[in-house]
Amino acid sequence: MLCQECQEREATLHFTKIINGEKTEFHICDVCAKERGDYTPGSNSFSIHQLLSGLLDTAGQQKPSREIGAQQRAEKQCPSCGMTYRQFAEIGRFGCADCYESFDEKLDPVLRRIHGGNAQHTGKVPKRKGKDLHVYKQIEDLKQKLQQLIAEEEFEAAATTRDEIRSLEHSLKGKGGESS
Amino acid sequence: MTLHSFIQNATSPWMKNEGPDSDIVISSRVRLARNLEGITFPIIANEEELSPVPEKVEAHFAGHSHKRFGELSLIKMNDLTDNEKRILVEKHLISPNLSGKSKAGAVLLSEDESLSVMVNEEDHFRIQCLLPGFQLQEGLKYANDMDDWMEEKLDFAYDQRRGYLTSCPTNVGTGLRSSVMMHLPALVMTNQLNRILPAINQLGLVVRGIYGEGSEALGNLFQLSNQTTLGESESEIVEDLRSVVSQLVERERAAREQLLTQSTNIVEDRIYRSLGILSYSRRMESKEAMQRLSDIRLGIDTGIIKGIDAKILNELMVLTQPGFLQHYAGEALTAEQRDQRRATLIRERLTLEEHDGGVE
Ligand SMILES: [Zn+2]
Ligand SMILES: [Zn+2]
């Protein structure tokens, strides 16, 4: 594929900008990228944040849209820290851990772009909290099972399952008290 | 204070040890980014919101002894002078970012300074283990131990799907940045590095000059680190970097070999010229100092220069930085004065070597 800037050299950098939920693809060669200052091979002054704010840009300068849907999406706000998606896109940083949840629907493509196609953690699970996560998952599963048992009117099995859930929840509470 | 004792006090104790492959790999570093649940990230939090973070560190870890790192102490940014902060930056113990904004900022340090935990930098915690030579796996193990130890007392922001949640989306997941600092003079001299670097980038690794993003590689020193933190396990990330570094080590050795057999006279001339200039100059800019010291180090590693300790590069790299020069002088210095002091310090250091036959 030829570089879209010079139409001469082979494009070596490919990235996607997302503007108001619309994807625009960019294909540039090393020389043009260097001139643009986004990327300098070798010296590696390639600034991830420059690229990031490009990726995350939803300010919609290129498209003064009056669509309410697009506006709302751009104004999506984290209820915990008050950061808007627009602010996040500008500074390339989350304001708090809950931002991941708040902006979740938009994150997969962004994370994939940054992390070589990956958006899901496969590494370390914290020991203490990891155990809890495991228990939460178990409780979740049991609650689903309980719903089903009740629907099927298997009340005896449902009672056993309910007790299991209670004891697991109890074990979590015990831990919570200990650590605070 | 004698220069000898100044060096003893100024350089980190871990720098005295030689690590594996330390003719080429200066140091290995592993960093883990962690945040506390329920507290806004430092980038937007105010001082009041952030103050519980160093308080927790003080309560649970400062003054306590860790099985690998010994007793740990907490240093608060607000208790330091600008020059003291600068020195911590020059020793790579804290980032310029942390020294710049002291909003509840602090650092938890081990006695030998191989472990530091930056508090309220971009994330609430940046656990960093710095080791001499090529010791990435060890670095990961120790940083991991420290993480486990901290996690016994603290609730880190963690999500099953995204892993450790960090302020910057480039750190989420493992929060792991592993890096090595390499001295690659022969690959630079033979113009091979320019060809190798794009390939390294392709592998998802980043190469930078020694003071991080945006700075140029002074003295043929390069820092290689992983770029992505999501989708691979910690040990996979470190292994990817380790294998590229070990290939670079081999290539640098081969290039040195080639230089010495094919251009002995040219290489010797260059190394001795640098030794001469460093031994007699009265003014020395930091950029030139780094380049000349790189030559000296190459001379030592290839056996052309004898009787000078290989640690001279690591030491002088740190000692000739502005913060240390001012610390040694005991006063603020202009750029002009620093160039003079730098030349003097290097001359003294080289003479010290001649008389002592090595600083131990
Ligand atoms: Zn082009
Ligand atoms: Zn938030």
What would the two tokens of residue A103 be? 């902006």
Long-range CB pairs of A76-79 (<8 Å, 24+ gap) are A76/A102, A76/A103, A76/A106, A77/A102, A78/A102, A78/A103
**Ligand lying closest to the C-alpha of residue A31:** 1
Ligand 1 mean position to A27 CA, how many Å? 9
- The Cβ-side half-sphere exposure at A94, using a 13 Å CA radius, reads 30
What is the identity of the amino acid at B81?
A: T
pLDDT, position B210: 59
Q: Enumerate the domain spans of chain A.
A: 1-46, 53-114, 127-174
- One DSSP character per residue, B9-36 reads HHS-GGGGS--TTTTTEEEEEEEEEE-B
pLDDT values of chain B reduced to their tens digit, one per residue, 360 residues: 677 777 777 778 777 778 899 999 999 999 999 999 999 999 889 899 999 999 999 999 999 999 889 999 999 999 999 889 988 888 888 988 898 876 799 999 999 999 999 999 999 999 999 999 999 999 999 999 999 999 999 999 999 899 999 999 999 999 999 999 999 999 988 988 888 887 888 788 888 765 544 445 678 888 899 999 999 999 999 999 999 999 999 999 999 999 999 999 999 999 999 999 999 999 999 889 989 999 999 999 999 999 888 888 788 878 888 888 888 888 889 999 999 999 999 999 888 766 554 443
B232 touches chain A (CB under 8 A): yes
Q: How far apart, in whole angstroms, are the C-alpha atoms of residue B7 and residue B324?
A: 10
Asked if B157 lies within 8 A of A97 by C-beta distance, the reply is: yes
Fill in the DSSP letter of residue A11. P
The backbone torsions φ and ψ at residue B164, rounded to the nearest 5 degrees and listed phi first, read -75, 125
3-class state of residue B225 by DSSP: strand
What would the two tokens of residue A157 be? 């099995």
Query: pLDDT tens for residues B315-324?
Result: 887 888 888 8
Q: Enumerate the domain spans of chain B.
A: 1-173, 256-354
The residue among B177, B330, B190 whose CA lies nearest residue B260 is B190
Fill in the DSSP letter of residue A180. -
A-contacting residues in B 27-46 (Cβ below 8 Å): 35, 37-41, 43-44
pLDDT, position A49: 46
pLDDT, position B159: 93
Helix B234-262 and helix B136-151, axial crossing angle in degrees, nearest 10: 150
What would the two tokens of residue B319 be? 């000692």
Asked if B160 lies within 8 A of A96 by C-beta distance, the reply is: no
Shortest CA gap B41–chain A (Å): 5
Q: How confident is the model at residue A25 (pLDDT cuts 50, 70, 90)?
A: low
What would the two tokens of residue A1 be? 């594929």
pLDDT, position A180: 35
Task: Confirm or deny that B211 is annotated as ligand binding.
Answer: yes
**Domain B1-173, CATH homologous superfamily name and number:** Glutamine synthetase/guanido kinase, catalytic domain (3.30.590.10)
B-contacting residues in A 138-177 (Cβ below 8 Å): none
Task: Confirm or deny that B180 is annotated as ligand binding.
Answer: yes
Query: pLDDT tens for residues B19-41?
Result: 899 999 999 999 999 999 999 99
What's CA A13's distance to the chain center, in Å? 23
ipTM value for the complex: 0.85
Q: Report pTM.
A: 0.77
Q: How far apart, in whole angstroms, are the C-alpha atoms of residue B297 and residue B312?
A: 8
pLDDT, position B41: 95
Ligand 2 mean position to A85 CA, how many Å? 10
Please count the residue pairs, one from chain A and one from chain B, whose beta carbons lie less than 8 angstroms apart.
Answer: 147
Residue written as token pair 């997302």: A18
pLDDT, position B35: 98
Residue written as token pair 């911590």: B88
> SS3 letters for B148-167?
HHHHCCCCECEECCCEECCC
Ligand 2 mean position to A153 CA, how many Å? 43
Q: Which one of A31, A44, A53, A107 makes the best mutation probe of the B interface by having the most chain B beta carbons within 10 Å? A: A44
Query: pLDDT tens for residues A145-171?
Result: 999 999 888 899 999 999 999 988 887
**Which residues of chain A does B204 touch, with a Cβ-Cβ cutoff of 8 Å?**
116
**Which residues of chain B does A121 touch, with a Cβ-Cβ cutoff of 8 Å?**
159-164, 172-174, 230-231
A48 touches chain B (CB under 8 A): yes
- For B232, residues 6+ apart whose C-beta sits below 8 A from its C-beta are A118, A122, A123, B174, B240
Question: B205, B225 in Cβ contact below 8 A?
Answer: yes
Ligand 1 mean position to A1 CA, how many Å? 11
